[in-house]
């Protein structure tokens, strides 16, 4: 009941990260019926193209062995070894192509479903695999019921196909009683090919359904709750509260550095408490005055406080202070349109002794 309730709460489709993590862990959708179908198809190819030729190659050796057993002496161990070598080589020539075909079809059934991945985690021992509780849940769960339904379908399909093929070949079976025994292997092979071909055709529908079910069940198992999506988003993007706190700390450090830079200014233009622009003018450093600090309200007051402590002139010009605050960034020289008014202020400061705070219209 708990597992069902937990699964019901997973209403959201898996994210790309969830799918990617599942693939990296080896949790991929696999259809068992596709592998079985590949084996049957390989068997059909073997019957059609390899069995007859292989039997023809193997027959002379077996015929010589049975017709003339004295031609293979077994007096010593070396004789027995020679006999086993001859028979073994012939058997290998017959079996190796069959095994290769089965392997190729088996690998193809897996590679066509999913890209190959090497995942060590899938071979790690897990107690849940030998847990009776987990075993019962797999048997009587949704997957167990689906596997049982597929088994019933396969049993019914295979039984029907075998019965149909055998009944259609009943007349040939009776005729075989009166024909040359040499023709019996070919007749048996033909009947076997018909049975395997019919089984392959009958199970194609089951394979298609099982492939779709494997994908659907895999996506369903990967579904997430809304809270899991939120947690994943936080992990990917970072906790908003922490990010806001870090941004706040960064801004505070930037303000502190900027306010400290106000002590290097040549003059401060204020409005009178809402805005403050600290300018530094040195012909050897920059061709035009450089904004070393700027701020409004509390920061503006702090800049003025630093300027007064450093005995830096503070010029009150509301329009110029507001315009400079909106147009210029820190560590940038003032634009050309501000050269004249700022130059007049600098000339005014250099031409006469001014108090620390002056009002310039």
Q: What is the per-residue pLDDT for 355?
A: 47
Confidence band (pLDDT; 50, 70, 90) for 228?
confident
pLDDT surpasses 80 at 360:
no
What average pLDDT does the segment 230-257 reach? 72
Confidence band (pLDDT; 50, 70, 90) for 354?
very low
pLDDT surpasses 60 at 353:
no
Beta-strand runs (E) in 13-135: none
Geometric angle at alpha carbon 119, from 113 and 125, rounded to 5°: 115
Surface-to-core class of residue 223, CB atoms within 10 Å of its CB (0-12 exposed, 13-18 middle, 19+ buried): middle
DSSP 224: B
Please write the tens of the pLDDT for every residue from 289-345. 888 888 888 888 888 888 888 888 888 888 888 888 888 888 888 888 888 888 888
Backbone angles phi, psi at 127, to 5 degrees: -65, -25
Please write the tens of the pLDDT for every residue from 129-184. 566 666 666 666 676 777 778 788 878 877 887 788 778 877 777 776 677 666 67
Q: What is the per-residue pLDDT for 303?
A: 83
What average pLDDT does the segment 89-112 reach? 86
What CA–CA distance (Å, rounded) separates 253 from 306? 17
What average pLDDT does the segment 186-202 reach? 80
DSSP 310: T
* Structural domains of the chain sorted by starting position, each given as residue range(s) with its CATH number in brackets: 28-119+128-221 (no CATH), 255-359 (3.40.1690.10)
pLDDT surpasses 60 at 67:
yes
What CA–CA distance (Å, rounded) separates 31 from 266? 78
Q: What is the per-residue pLDDT for 259?
A: 77
What average pLDDT does the segment 118-134 reach? 64
What average pLDDT does the segment 234-258 reach? 72
Q: What is the per-residue pLDDT for 331?
A: 82
Can you tell me whether residue 354 is helix, strand or coil?
Answer: coil
Among the residue ranges 98-102, 122-126, 202-206, the one predicted with the least confidence is 122-126
Percent of the chain, pLDDT > 90? Answer: 1
Question: What count of Cα atoms within 13 Å lies in the side-chain half-sphere of residue 210?
Answer: 23
Q: What is the per-residue pLDDT for 129?
A: 59
Strands 314-316 and 357-359 turn out to be parallel
What is the average pLDDT score of the chain?
Answer: 77
Q: How many CB atoms lie within 10 A of CB 234?
A: 14
Q: How many CB atoms lie within 10 A of CB 276?
A: 31
């Amino acid at each position: 009941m708990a597992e069902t309730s937990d699964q019901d709460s997973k209403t959201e489709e898996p994210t790309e990260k969830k799918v990617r993590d599942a693939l990296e862990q080896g949790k991929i959708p696999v259809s068992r019926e596709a592998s079985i179908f590949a084996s049957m198809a390989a068997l059909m190819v073997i019957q059609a193209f390899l069995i007859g030729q292989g039997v023809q190659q193997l027959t002379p050796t077996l015929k010589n062995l049975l017709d003339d057993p004295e031609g293979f002496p077994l007096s010593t161990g070396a004789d027995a070894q020679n006999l086993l070598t001859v028979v073994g080589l012939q058997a290998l020539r017959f079996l190796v192509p069959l095994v290769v075909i089965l392997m190729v079809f088996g690998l193809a059934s897996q590679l066509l479903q999913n890209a190959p991945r090497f995942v060590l985690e899938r071979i790690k021992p897990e107690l849940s695999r030998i847990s009776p509780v987990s075993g019962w849940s797999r048997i009587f769960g949704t997957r167990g019921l689906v596997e049982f339904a597929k088994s019933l379908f396969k049993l019914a399909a295979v039984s029907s196909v075998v019965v149909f093929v055998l009944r259609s070949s009943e007349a040939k079976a009776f005729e075989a009683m009166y024909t040359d025994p040499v023709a019996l292997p070919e007749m048996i092979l033909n009947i076997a090919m018909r049975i395997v071909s019919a089984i392959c055709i009958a199970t194609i529908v089951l394979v298609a359904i099982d492939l779709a079910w494997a994908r659907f069940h895999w996506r369903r198992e990967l579904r997430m709750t809304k809270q899991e999506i939120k947690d994943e988003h936080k992990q990917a993007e970072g906790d908003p509260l922490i990010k806001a706190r870090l941004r706040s700390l960064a801004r505070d450090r930037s303000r502190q550095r900027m306010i400290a830079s106000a002590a290097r200014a040549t003059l401060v233009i204020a409005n009178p408490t809402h805005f403050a622009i600290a300018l530094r003018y040195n012909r050897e450093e920059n061709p035009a005055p450089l904004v070393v600090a700027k701020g409004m309200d509390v920061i503006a007051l702090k800049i003025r406080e630093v300027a007064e402590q450093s005995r830096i002139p503070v010029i009150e010009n509301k329009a110029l202070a507001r315009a400079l605050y909106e147009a210029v960034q820190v560590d940038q020289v003032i634009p050309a349109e501000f050269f004249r008014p700022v130059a007049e202020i600098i000339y005014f400061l250099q031409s006469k002794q001014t108090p620390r705070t002056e009002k310039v219209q």
